[in-house]
Chains A and B, each alone.
Chain A
């Protein structure tokens, strides 16, 4: 079997091109994206359902509006954005290690009007939990990525060049006297697969979370879908975006914010209704 051993040696001596691990990794990432595309809808529904139940549980929090004095003091020094509600950074931190840089900015919504019955407290709790969870998971994902990268022949120096960054933050999409729209985002610079976007819309007059139904009426789903379809057709012509045939069902879990005119703007993430290259797609539904 000496010859056999020799042959095996020459078999094992076939040089492995550097490109191999890159190509294998790129396939894995592609597959992750595909899976994400399928899971996104289910996940989104789940997430929004928790929000709905949080809103339903609001009544229970009525008595617990007051926050700590320290917090209240910080609050009073921050600029007021609107007359009845303000959004401020509740907690913000940034760390940088050799491996990654993470910056987190967690917002809080403070309602001034009395009739809010503590709704912001439950929403705030949910927002804080969401931000923290995303940050924790993103760090874990980055660590896993690093382990895989090193295990497949990458060096520490090459890894350092990746410059991994994680950002959790928020944006006030729009605020008028009547409503406030807040967007919570989570991003990782090395993978778009786990980006998180969550919108919160408050009706400042009634002191509750806004739904599409509140704005568009009971036939909101049909109305929105018709409008989206016609806008898609237009964009298809002008920008040559190849939309999927099926669009996600419009229901109480659909992501949207309210623009200055008071119209809801429905937001689909990249891959949700069109190829990823087209990016996120927004559709304003005129009342």
Chain B
């Protein structure tokens, strides 16, 4: 039974790894970092697969790990930049210029971070609102409100 679930998790990871990478990339915006995020998410998931309750939960459970890993890496980066003695970099600047061709993406990048995130999960990863709420550990209504705010702005 446990073994079974483990095998399912492994095949899910193998199957959807490209999606993981894209989502991670949408957070960290850099190939190396995105690879690191996916790798450590896979590592954590396999290590703690005992916490996985059932097969249906695999997706949301894994996405939660993935999103948390991405956010953690972003936080670490921010801290690193601030504490460094070198010339301060402004990481956001480059990223906006890079996306300049795409009006909507620019627009998206201007929204609050958590609103951006919900839009990405909803429309790019095509997750249901309920799944998003589970992944981000938010109230379903909060997710709905944030999403509609994001779309209106």
Name A's B-contacting residues (CB within 8 A).
3-4, 6-8, 10-12, 14, 16-17, 19-21, 23-28, 30-31, 34-35, 148, 151-152
Contact = CB atoms under 8 A, between A and B. Distances in A.
Nearest to A21: B17
20 contacts: A3-B104, A4-B123, A7-B105, A8-B124, A10-B105, A17-B21, A17-B31, A17-B35, A20-B21, A20-B35, A20-B38, A24-B17, A24-B39, A26-B39, A27-B39, A30-B43, A34-B47, A148-B11, A148-B14, A151-B15
Interface of B is mostly: helix
Most buried by B among A10, A20, A24, A35: A24
Contacts of B26: 11, 14
Given A26-B39, A151-B15, 11 more contacts: A3-B104, A6-B104, A7-B108, A10-B105, A24-B13, A24-B38, A27-B39, A28-B13, A28-B42, A30-B43, A148-B11
A14 B34 CA distance: 11
Contacts of B38: 20, 23-24
Interface of A is mostly: helix
B58 interface: no
A45 to B, nearest CB: 18
Interface in B79-127: 102-105, 108, 120, 123-124
Given A27-B42, A31-B46, A20 B102 contact: no
Most buried by A among B14, B25, B103: B14
A27 B46 contact: yes
B104 A7 contact: yes
B18 interface: yes
Nearest to A31: B46
B27 to A, nearest CB: 12
Contacts of A23: 35, 38-39
Contacts of B11: 148
Contacts of A11: 22, 26, 120, 124
B22 to A, nearest CB: 5
Contact of A152 (B6, B17, B46): B17
A151 to B, nearest CB: 6
Interface string B2-38: 0000100011011101100110011000010001001
Interface in B105-152: 105, 108, 120, 123-124
A34 B26 CA distance: 31
A12 B22 contact: yes
Contacts of A17: 21, 31, 35
Given A11-B120, A20-B35, A23-B38, A31 B43 contact: yes
A99 B120 CA distance: 42
A34 B103 CA distance: 47
A202 B146 CA distance: 74
Nearest to B103: A3
Contact of B46 (A7, A10, A14, A28): A28
B102 A6 contact: yes
A42 B21 CA distance: 37
